[in-house]
Structure 1
């Protein structure tokens, strides 16, 4: 276990930041947590609202089995305790986008107990792992959405989101730097997407974080924390921590006192601002929801959840490394589930793991970045990529020729073998032809030849380059090197 060294230098000495995240992840399901209303993003306002969501008199909630299943699978993915008995509670507060006047949540008996997420805060040192504890995952319903920019004097309410299932994933205050918090959020998002329990789309609000920050002297007692609500990107989470930690240090050193409160992050200015005083659990008057029986999970349900889990990123990374992929490449390839699926298909098509990983993280990623496409939109399929790499392995193509062929594949959509045959791009190892070209190169560059033989060994690369250029990049580099050394004496 490692800990990122991060300190804030104040006027009175060093300070340490203590961070915990409460991540709200929208559960992937076709219907809401307690009703059959749809959950699709982007629908016209108030077109996906059932009588239950609108809190009409006499309407009773019925739990959506799929939402419970997805939360349990998520708990299993972080090696958490799954509570076979859990219960829903009412969290009472008034807000215009909460028709019931309460939110159905789980305070006292959550569905999922303690687990953990292992992160590598420094991407260049993927083996530098820190374990972040997860205190609980509970299931709750989302509220609606207030729209303040639709009318000059009124606010409108859209209840499409009301009743949508959320997992609230509560970490322990184990993070000590913005980098650790960013790594935790990225890893958690990756796990959710692997499992399929949340799409992780922070831009659409299906995953957002409440950021708890406090400061203290290194190793001292915990300070008073603030909670910055609904931060919707990894970059903003890290920026909010940076600003809030510095604000608290400046406040304390100036003789002030940090108030426990809820704050908002302004991404345009990169600052947090006060929203309201922080409530405690008793302020919400929690009590067991009388309309819902406790959830009781049997072994068959848990076994089904466990069997449905895919290979998770840490296990996949270890498998790649065992097959010859560098730790850094393995981390890159497993960060996003789509990339891992594409790479697995490439391996299944027969590509060698080490060279394939270098090619994907180099040539393929470069081409996709230039085109603005994701790997799932790659114009070259895993099977076509395996065909190209096979031509490099068997010596048909040199590295430079393989780049040419890849560019042609991107342009034409044709396979590597067909392009090599049609355009005469095969690498040659014909020693007679290469020797003739070398002799010509040496004859045309007597000055460089004299300097080389006088001891300027660096000119060897010049002769290699001239030979390859004269042969249109088609000469086998290993053969060129061997024959040049003989010719140069």
Structure 2
């Protein structure tokens, strides 16, 4: 992205992202405490989590497996030997005064992902590392007067920090990169990566330089961005702030900043530390992490289908690319759809899951993962259509009725609703013919006009038959029998 200043100078934007994703596991990374940090304050803690004297860390190998799976998803090298280090700094919600992390040798290095640009071309973003570390607690400033309260439920929760190279060049690219990473780590089950719920946060390192300049400009880090929209807005504001300072003869201070959502601007938080300020050193309580080739291979063997593999499969189903991309990158959509598509024709599964069901869920602001209409219900609904029990129009009525039942905490299957409301499709030839004959008899003017060449009136007759049969007549039979009866009339 090239930004032209008011003085006509052209600047290049350089962005590197650090993504902190909570490892999806029931236990913390160095203790057996629950990872449910949203519980009653200070209930999910252990001596290790709050740094009581003598408490020692015990590494959760399930968390290690999740980080390895994430590394495989980004085409990275998995190190058979890695180390844990202490990152020293003081903050009230960090009870030990240091964070256990991986600085010198992380578990994952040298990965990459491809993102799609605005012109549909691809750009490869290289990823420096994924390292495992523990989260801090939470400071609460608005609970008791002017006092700060500390909740240590989150202290010790396992994090993966995913560090990109400074190769992103625009807010758009940064957003696409985050969405790509989020879909990958969710697909392999490494993290929920829910930015709204706080299980994924982004720090953006932003700098600018004149076009043609090779040396990177002074960077500022924008901390704890919790949505793609805010990430993009913060980057854009920060880039323009840097350019304005430089154009006015000033210098950029290397610092950590926060993004004010309401004002749409960043503000200074503290001077940005360098690595030597943290006084990293190997953690004496944790030995080197040594992994066998068999351990790593077992994780690779059980790796689930990744979004790009799903995309290929969805395109083969005949789903349009734009929709196929959305489906493949959202684990909630793809899991639900795939379960239906296993037992239904894929195009019909797409129609009834991604159009009909999702439209109703969005209207009620229900996530597909929380839907009380299960994949088995949609499979049954499609089966009723393909077996000629109901037609598509009636199926929509059935789905609407299911939503009514759900809102009153009552769930009925499609078959039960069809039976309760008497919606079963009329397939009886004699019954349909009788309805057609009555309609032709009562509409002689339209019948003669059709025979004189007004072919559009065929739709009129079909509509009248469906109206008389309350939409329950088999549409295919109506069309076939109507042609025969018109010829006879």
- Give the shorter-chain TM-score range: 0.7 to 0.9
**Counterpart in 1 of 2:63?**
67
- 1-structure distance, mates of 2:287, 2:339: 45
Q: Does 1:149 align with 2:122?
A: no
Q: Does 1:439 align with 2:440?
A: yes
**Counterpart in 1 of 2:425?**
426
- 2:222–2:258 CA contact under 8 A, matched in 1: yes
1:335 Cα shift? 2.9
- 2:37–2:44 CA contact under 8 A, matched in 1: no
1:260 Cα shift? 2.2
**Counterpart in 1 of 2:374?**
381
- Equivalences for residues 10-409 of structure 1 within 5 A: 10-11=5-6, 12=8, 15-120=11-116, 129-217=122-210, 220-221=213-214, 222-348=216-342, 350-409=343-402
- 2:423–2:472 CA contact under 8 A, matched in 1: no
Aligned residues: 477
1:163 Cα shift? 2.4
Indicate which of 446, 467, 474 corresponds to 1:469.
467
- 2:87–2:98 CA contact under 8 A, matched in 1: yes
- 2:115–2:180 CA contact under 8 A, matched in 1: yes
- Call closer, same or farther: CA 1:433–1:220 in 2, change over 3 Å: farther
- 2-structure distance, mates of 1:87, 1:459: 78
* 334-343 or 164-173, larger mean C-alpha shift: 334-343
- Call closer, same or farther: CA 1:334–1:56 in 2, change over 3 Å: same
* 263-272 or 307-316, larger mean C-alpha shift: 307-316
- 2-structure distance, mates of 1:294, 1:48: 28
- Call closer, same or farther: CA 1:162–1:86 in 2, change over 3 Å: same
1:103 Cα shift? 1.9
Q: Secondary structure at the match of 2:142?
A: coil
- Call closer, same or farther: CA 1:367–1:432 in 2, change over 3 Å: same
Q: Secondary structure at the match of 2:109?
A: coil
1:229 Cα shift? 0.5
- Call closer, same or farther: CA 1:471–1:200 in 2, change over 3 Å: same
- 2-structure distance, mates of 1:80, 1:329: 28
1:188 Cα shift? 2.0
- 1:437–1:467 CA contact under 8 A, matched in 2: no
Q: Secondary structure at the match of 1:140?
A: strand
* 400-409 or 291-300, larger mean C-alpha shift: 400-409
- 2:38–2:153 CA contact under 8 A, matched in 1: no
Q: Secondary structure at the match of 1:72?
A: helix
1:466 Cα shift? 4.6
- Call closer, same or farther: CA 1:396–1:118 in 2, change over 3 Å: farther
- 1-structure distance, mates of 2:299, 2:10: 47
TM-score by length of 2: 0.86
Q: What is the root-mean-square deviation of aligned Cα atoms in Å? A: 3.2
- 1-structure distance, mates of 2:61, 2:86: 20
* 96-105 or 364-373, larger mean C-alpha shift: 96-105
Q: Secondary structure at the match of 1:108?
A: coil
- Call closer, same or farther: CA 1:142–1:392 in 2, change over 3 Å: same
Gaps of 5+ in 1: 1-5
- 1:434–1:475 CA contact under 8 A, matched in 2: no
- 1:441–1:463 CA contact under 8 A, matched in 2: no
1:284 Cα shift? 1.7
